[in-house]
Amino acid sequence: MVDTGTSDNFEEFLDSPQLKGTAAQNGINLKFRFQTGYDHSYNFITSFIEEHIDFHAMYLKTSQ
């Protein structure tokens, strides 16, 4: 799972299209979400961290 803010001024470094393309080429099912109005700030992280923890925990539980 990847979240990127649409107001993130680091997009040139993050290169979301490259990440999405590389994942697809390698058969990785990437859940990619753009979050409108968010940048690369603490507020962005705190807004979505719980969803990320739940998402990853679900996959960690099923891989054992």
**What pLDDT is recorded for position 60?**
87
What is the rounded distance in angstroms from the CA atom of residue 23 to the CA atom of residue 6? 20
Q: Could you tell me the residue range of the domain that residue 37 belongs to?
A: 2-62
Helix ranges (DSSP H) in 1-41:
11-14, 16-25
What is the rounded distance in angstroms from the CA atom of residue 13 to the CA atom of residue 57? 28
pLDDT tens for residues 8-48?
888 888 898 999 999 999 999 999 999 999 998 888 989 99
Query: How many separate domains does the chain show?
Result: 1
What is the rounded distance in angstroms from the CA atom of residue 5 to the CA atom of residue 11? 9
Report whether pLDDT(64) > 60. no
**What pLDDT is recorded for position 2?**
92
> Dihedral of CA 35/40/28/12: which sign?
positive
**3-state SS class at 4:** strand
